[in-house]
Amino acid sequence: MISYKYSALSRDGAKVNGVVEAIDEIHAVEKIKEKCPIVLDINEVKTGGVYDILNLEIGKKVDVKALSVMCSQFSIILSAGTPINTTLAMIASQTEDKKLKKMLENATEDVNHGSTVEQAFRKNYNGLPEVFLETIRAGEMSGSLAQAFENMHVYFDKSFKNKQKIKSVTSYPIFVGVIAVIVVIVIMVMVVPTLTSVFSELGGDLPWMTQILIDVSEWFGKYWLILLGVLAGLFVLFKALTSGEEGAKRKGEMLLKLPIVGNINTLSAAQEFANTMSTLLDAGLTVGEALRVTAKCLTNPAISREVYAMAEKVETGTSLSEVMSKSEYLPQVLKEMSGVGEKSGELVQTLRTIGEYYSNEADFAIKSALDKLEPAMLVVLAIFAGYIVIAIYLPMFTMYSLL
C-alpha cells in the first residue's frame, strides 16, 4: 500500500489535512471523497533511503500479542452484557501496554461523547491493523461486537504464534552467520597482519595459499571504506528502485520469482489471504469489502495490488471464483477451493480450512529451507576455516628451517 498526504474540504466546508493509504492515487482520491467531497491536493509520501529516516515513527506498530489479549478481554466482558463504554474503561485500567492503554483511555472519552468504537480506535492509534478496525466496524453495525472481538483474538493469536515459529527456526542460522562474520573480521584485521609481519621478518618465499590470504587481508585494510561505500550505494539504489507504487510491485514480483524464497512468499501470501478473508467475511463484510481490506493486510505488494483489483471486479457483479481464477500469483489449490466454498455457501469455513493448510505448508517450507541452509553454512565455514589453518601452518615449516 502507498501512503498519500492530502488536503481536502469536508462537507461543511472545513479544510482537512491527512494521510490515506491506497493501492494508487486514483483509489486514494476515492477513499478521501468518501468523507471529503472536494480534494484540493494529494501527494505520495516519499519512501526509501533518507525518506524512511525522516518519516520514521518510533513504535508505530502495535504489539500483536498485547492486541490479542485485549481482544480476548473485550469478548469476555461484552459477552457478559457490560456496556461498551464501561468495558473500555475496565480494560484500560488493566492493560499494561502503554500505547494501548492510552488509546483505550482516549477512546472511552470519545465513545462517551457519541463516537463509534471503530472511529475512536482509528482516531487514537494510527498503528492498528486495518483488518482489526474493519472487523470491529462490521461487528458494531451487525450488533455482534463481542463476536467480532473474539474473531480478532483468534486471528491475532494465530498471527503471533506464526511469527514466533518463524523466529524460533531462523534464530540459529542468523546467530551462526553473525558469529562467522565477526570471526572473519577478527582474523583479517588482527591475526593475519600479525602473521604477515612475522613472515616478512624471517624472509623466504611464502606458499601461494598464505600469500593470497595476506593479499586479501591487505586489500581489506586499504579499501574497506570504499567497500563499505559501495555496499551503502547499492543499498540506496535498491531502496530507490523498490520505492513508490511500481517499485514496490517490482520488489514483490522479484520475491515471488526467487528460488525457494518465492515458494515461501507464495505460501505465506495464501495463508494471509485465506485467514484474513475468513475473519472479515465472518464479521459480516461483503466479499468486495473483505477483498479491499485483505489487500491492505497482505505483505507482498504485487499480490496486494492484484487482490485490490479483484475487489473492483467483484463489486461490479463478477463472482469471487471467476476473479480468483485469473490470478497470476495465488496458488491453484486456493483458487479452486475458494470457488468450491463460494458455490456451496461455505466460503468462510472453506477459507479457514485452506488457511490452516497453507499455514502448515509455509511452516514446513521455511523449516525445510533452513534445514538445508544450516549444513550449507557449516560446510562453507569449514572450508574457509580449513583454508586459513592450512595457509597459516604451511609457512611454519619454512619458519623452522630459518630459525
Classify the C-alpha dihedral 52-55-60-61 as positive or negative.
negative
Helix%, strand%, coil% for the chain, nearest 5: 75, 5, 20
Instruction: Please give the order of strands across the beta sheet that includes 2-9.
Output: 15-22, 2-9, 38-44
Distance CA 129, CA 68 (A): 12
Per DSSP, helices labelled H in 203-243 are 208-241
Distance CA 39, CA 145 (A): 33
What is the number of other CB atoms lying within 10 angstroms of the CB of residue 188?
Answer: 19
Query: Residues with Cβ < 8 Å from 23, sequence gap 6 or more?
Result: 1, 2, 245, 295, 304, 305, 308
Strand partners, 15: 9
Distance CA 152, CA 311 (A): 22
Strand pairing report for 38-44 and 15-22: unpaired
Strand partners, 263: none
Per-residue confidence (pLDDT) for residue 402, from 0 to 100: 52
Query: Grid cell 492515487 — which residue?
Result: 25
Cell numbers for 65: 500479542
Strand pairing report for 38-44 and 2-9: antiparallel
pTM of the model: 0.66
Mean pLDDT by 10 residues, the chain (403 residues): 76 75 73 81 65 43 85 92 91 88 89 87 84 86 86 86 74 78 76 71 70 79 84 87 78 85 88 88 87 87 90 88 89 90 90 89 85 81 82 70 54
Residue 351 near residue 278, CB atoms below 8 Å: yes
Structure-derived torsion over alpha carbons of residues 382, 388, 389, 395, reported in degrees to the nearest 10: 160
Residue 47 near residue 243, CB atoms below 8 Å: yes
Per-residue confidence (pLDDT) for residue 204, from 0 to 100: 58
Cell numbers for 217: 587481508
Largest CA distance in the chain: 95
Query: Residues with Cβ < 8 Å from 400, sequence gap 6 or more?
Result: none
Nearest Cα residue to 239 out of 21, 46, 23, 44: 46
Classify the C-alpha dihedral 106-109-112-115 as positive or negative.
negative
